[in-house]
Every structure is written in structure tokens, then in C-alpha cells.
Amino acid sequence: MSIFILVLLTLGSARSSAPNYGEVADKQFLRERLSVLQPEAIFREFFEDKGDWQLNEGCARDLRVFQQDLERRRSWALRMLDASSTVSSGVLKGNFIELGSFDECVEIHEVKDDGTGGRHCMYTAGLSKPQEDDFPVHPSMSICLPTSCDEDDVMALVHGKIQRNETTRRELKVLSTSCTSIEPRLTDTAFWISLAFYVLCIGFVTLCTLCDLVNRWFGVEQENAGTLSRFSALKALSKILSTRTQEDEIRPLHGMRVLSIAWVVLVHEYFLHVFSSTVNIIDVSSWLGTWMALVPLIGTYAVDTFFVMSGFLMTYNFFKKRQKNEESFNVLYHYIHRYLRLTLPIAALVASMFLILVYPLSGALYEWMESVFFTGCRDKWWSVLTYTQNFVDPSNRCLQHLWFMAVDMQLFLISPLILYSLYKVPKIGLTFLTCLFFGSIASNAAIVGVNRYAATYLDHTANIQRVLKMFDEIYQMPYTRAGPWLIGIALGYRITRGLDKPSKACIFTGWLLAILAFAFCIVGTKSLLDLNYEYNLTWEVIFAALSRPLWGLAVCWIIYACHHGYAGPISTFLSWKAFVPLSKLSYCTYLVHLLFPFARFSTARTKSYFSDYVILNNYVGDIVLSVVTAFFLSIVFEIPMQVLDSLLFKKKK
């Protein structure tokens, strides 16, 4: 999926070296270390030691005022101390990320000459010499400070406390700090450009809708209504809600698309939950050994289903047009057509990021989650719009889930070579396709084998940096993900050739092999998550090379069987009319679905609990919000661009 899998997978991968993190916490005196570094202990050390703490002048002055008013039991000083976190119960279950009282802190306003407010800050400390069984998720605490203090002052305070303690001086170090923003953001140029972009697009669609309403009021025929009326929101809504399909359309693909996007949203719901402040994060390690964990982990193959459908539909439409002699193959139009249809909704999503980053959302984890997921958008927004973000500074992450769009577009760049060779000289085209397919398999095997990576991107040393490296080098690269896409192209070519229907023996064999392929992916993933699993390079290489192509082959068989009428109730279910409108919204749903769990977790005031029920409960609300937002995105951005594309490149009569 995306970066959200990394912490969760690292927790699971470390089980072979640390089967019980509760015991690890006990042996490493985690509660004692947290007690030494809790805010009250830091304040006490600062008040008693008059030495140089390397704070900025304003912060040091206000902290001395805070000390005096705390001794006088002034309300604001008591609230600042009360808002800072303390060590809670349940540390051995993973309750070691303390949020404090965010609202109590930021609502502090002491009226005097210079004015003093509260600023909520977070800091993370870890072992100075990490051990093999150290925690992949580091304990964090919150501290409420005067607004004159910043991240560097938090670093100085915590570091000063560590250095002034004989035990912690040798064991601990500060890993990171963050503080709520107090600077006004409405002067941000990107904000105003993004706002103007939204106002322009919404205004244009509104104007076109008014024109359409006027035409309908006066009874003007739709074909004579004019160009502007074609961009009407009413027509876009009617197009989305229509369940009619074209005669040569493969209807089961609608159901397959809806189920896949629903699965992707569920996967991200699970993985993003780990980034929140969870009171039982250690339970995730044992949960990963259960069959229930396969629901999100196998869900990563839903992305390969999308790759199969992408390659299949591209090839299917190409050869259908050739058979109907509708138009000659224009490579330039081939590229422009796809870029126009996909990019405007992505541009809207990038613009929404600048609006969200400026809008005063607040929460204990907001600054941290923003820095992890969206801060890179300021520097590399252009790489998102050019579909190169997986190659351009991949560690500086922006809308990480859009790696799929980048890979799909990069594979699309070589499609004319494949399609045209299949059309003109089929033998050469099939040979080229086969070489690319085995090249993709070999690249996965080689990268995993040479670097001793894990097939499921788990690192058995609980090294998050190594897991990130595997994600960047394997998971989001076009040459490693090309297998299912190429299989989809082969299926599209096979179906459009109109060859004889398969025999009963072939049908039986096809279903048997498809079931075995799915079983290989499911059971293989479960074996890699087994509590007693020891790293086996041969098995890792085999699974990395074959799992995704086999999944793609199984999906292709379902499409093939549905097309020829050999799928029975499966085809009937996937062809359900209710799937058609949701299928049309699947692209925009994928684009926006992460915004809602991000907003929920980054603005949280309290800690959450990791359980299947809690996650599924949140999932239902998030997917409904995602579909509703996808309606807006599709009506304002996606469908108008489709209309513009048809106007620019329509055939001359």
C-alpha cells in the first residue's frame, strides 16, 4: 500500500528477536526511564539548577516567571504543569505515547505586559546505543511550555535533564521534538493559489450548471444547449448515478473495482491506526500472528488487481477500436488523453493539502503527522503532477499513496511499444511482452536476494530505516510491479482476438489453478508471519518473485471466466448494477480516502485502542465520507476534464 504499513510490519517482523515486548520493557526499565524524563522531573531539574540550559532568552525568562507563579499557585502556571503528561499505567502493554492535555495547554492565556500562552510540544527519547530487541516505536511524552519556547528549547531541556542524570547520560538520547505552530499561515502563497484554483473550478462548474438549468427551464433540447451546459453538475451527477453500460463493456470489472478500492481503504485504516497514540501497541505484535491480520496484509494485493485491470482495459479498448476502424493510433493523443483525464483531480488533491496545512487544525500529533505525510508537498508537488514522486527524493514524502498513480503512468509510457507490436507483428509483440514479464520477476528476485530483503517488506531486525529502504526500492518501483500489469495486457489481447472458447477441462483447470494461486499468496504470507518463522532466503526470493504475478494470473482468470460466462454466481455478483456508480467514483475515492483518518488521528485529544472492532467502526464512517467527497471531486474536476478531453479531440464529421 504505502508508508502506513511500515510501523505495523516492523512491529510484527521483530517478533522473532523479541517475542514479548512486555518483557523487554520490564528488562529495560522502561517505566523508570519515562519517570526520569517526564515533564515534572524536567521542570524540577531546571528550577533547581541555575546553570546554562542553552535556551533562547525569551523561553528562559518565561520559564523563570512560570517557576515563580507556580510557587504562588497562580492558575495559569498550575494549568501549564497539569497539561503536561505523566507516566500512565499500561506501559508494558505499549501505553508509552503520552499526549497530555492539549486543549488545556493551548488555551492558557496569562494577561500581563508581554502576554503568555501555552504551547503544546512532544519529545521522543530512545536508547543511545539501540539494542537488537529495542522498541521499533519509541516512547514519547508531551510538555506544555510558554509560547516563546520552540522545538530547540524542548531539545535543550530534555537533553539537559538526560546529561544531569548519571544513569540516563550513558543510556538515553533525544530523538525528535515537535511543537504546535503559533505562526499565522494565511500569508502562505501556496494557500492563496490553491484557494483561487478551487474557487475558479467550482465557479466554472456552477456557472455551467446555471446555464443548464436555464436551458431546461426554457425547454432547449440537450443537443442544442451549447458547450457550457455539457460541464453542468447535473449532467455529471446523472452520468455517475446511471447504471447503464455499453454493449461491449465487461460489467464484472465494476464489482471488482469497487471491492478492491474498499479493501484498499480498509488496509490503510488498519495501518494508519498504528500511527496514532495507541494504549496497547504491543498487542499488534501478537495480532500479526493471527488469521485476522491477513485481512489487511493480503489486502495489499488489491493494488495488483488494479494493475491487472489497468493493463487489461488499455489493451481491450485499443484492439476494439482497431477492429472497428474507428481511428488510427496516435501516440501523442495516447499520452495526452490519459494525462488530462487523471491529473486534474490529483491537482485538486494537492491543492487541498495546502488548504489543510494552512487551516488551523490542531492536535497533539498534528505537526508530527504533517511532517511525516504532507510536508514534502511544499517541495515536490510538481513531481506528483508529473508522476515522478517515487524517483524524486523518495524519502521526502508527499501523498505517499499516489505512488500507484506514478507507477501506473510510468508503465503506461512504454505501452505504445507493446500495443503497436502486438497489433502489427503479434509474434514480436508477445516475445517482447514475455521478456518484460520475466524481467519483472527477475528484478524482484534479484533485489531481495542480493540485499537479503524480506518478500513482504518486513525486516526481521525491527529496523524501520531498512523497512523504508525496502519500500522505496521494491514496493513503489515500476519494474518490480509490472508483472500483473503485463498479465492484464496479455489477457486483453487474448480476449479481443476472439479465439475459440475453452473446453470444460480447460475451465476446470483454470479455476483450480486460480484457487491454488490465491492459496499460495495467502498461505505464503501467513507462513512469513508465523511466530516461529526464521528468515529463509530461498523462500523469500521465491515468494517475492512469484506471489504478485500469481495473484495477477488468478484475477485474470476470473475476468476471463466472467467474460465467457463460466463464473456463475461470481459473475452475477460482480455485475450487480449497484456497483456501477461506485465504480465510477473509485478513482476519486482512492485519492481522498486518507484525508479522513489523517484528520481524525492528527487532531485526537485522547489515546486510542487497537482492536478489530474499533478499526472496522471507523472504517465504515471513513469510507462513507470518502465516497461523498469523491462525488464532489468527480463532479467538479474529473468529469469536466473528461468533457474537455472529448471536445478537444472529438472526431471531425
Q: Is the pLDDT of residue 63 over 80?
A: yes
**In three state form, how does the secondary structure of 266-293 look?**
HHHHHHHHCCCCECCCCHHHHHCCCHHH
CB atoms within 10 A of CB 108: 20
Share of the chain above pLDDT 70, in %: 87
The DSSP line for 188-229 is -HHHHHHHHHHHHHHHHHHHHHHHHHHHHHTT--GGGS-SGG
Tell me what pLDDT residue 514 has.
Answer: 95
Sign of the CA dihedral 635, 641, 647, 649? negative
For residue 136, what pLDDT is reported? 57
Q: Confidence class of residue 462 from pLDDT cuts 50, 70 and 90?
A: low
Say what the alpha-carbon torsion angle 615, 620, 624, 629 is, to the nearest 10 degrees: 0
Helix axes 331-358, 189-217, angle to 10 degrees: 110
Q: What is the pLDDT of residue 292?
A: 81
Q: What is the pLDDT of residue 311?
A: 95
User: Does the pLDDT of residue 114 top 70, yes or no?
Assistant: no
Alpha helices in 110-188 (DSSP H): 151-163, 168-171
212 pLDDT band (50/70/90 cuts)?
confident
Confidence of residue 440 (pLDDT cuts 50, 70, 90): very high
Output 318-322 pairs: Cβ under 8 A, ≥24 positions apart.
318/419, 318/423, 318/492, 319/423, 319/492, 319/493, 319/496, 319/497, 320/248, 320/496, 322/423
pLDDT at 210: 93
644, 340 in Cβ contact below 8 A? yes
For residue 3, the model assigns a pLDDT of 40
Q: Say what the pTM is.
A: 0.88
Distance CA 267, CA 147 (A): 39
Question: For cell 465520507, what's the residue?
Answer: 625
459 pLDDT band, cuts 50/70/90, is low
CA-nearest of 69, 101, 98, 63 to 83 is: 101
pLDDT in tens, 378-426: 788 889 999 998 888 877 778 888 999 999 999 999 999 999 899 989 9
Of the listed ranges 37-46, 115-124, 303-312, 332-341, the one predicted with least confidence: 115-124
Name the residue with cell 547520560: 169
User: CA dist 545 to 156, 548, 619, Å?
Assistant: 48, 7, 32
Average pLDDT on 437-444 reads: 94
Predicted pLDDT at 113: 46
What local confidence, expressed as pLDDT, does residue 526 receive?
86
Instruction: Identify the pLDDT of residue 134.
Output: 56
Contact yes or no for 516/486 (Cβ under 8 A): no
Assign 615 to helix, strand or coil: helix
380 close to 388: Cβ distance less than 8 angstroms: no
Query: Which pLDDT band, with edges at 50, 70 and 90, does 133 fall under?
Result: low
CA dihedral in degrees (5, 11, 17, 20; nearest 10)? -160
3-state helix, strand, coil in the chain (%, to 5): 65, 5, 30
CA distance 575 to 253: 8
Alpha-carbon 193 to chain mean position: 25
498 φψ region: left (φ > 0), alpha (ψ -120 to 50), beta (else): left
- CA dist 95 and 140 (Å) reads 10
Question: Is residue 26 over pLDDT 70?
Answer: no
- Across 326-344, average pLDDT: 84
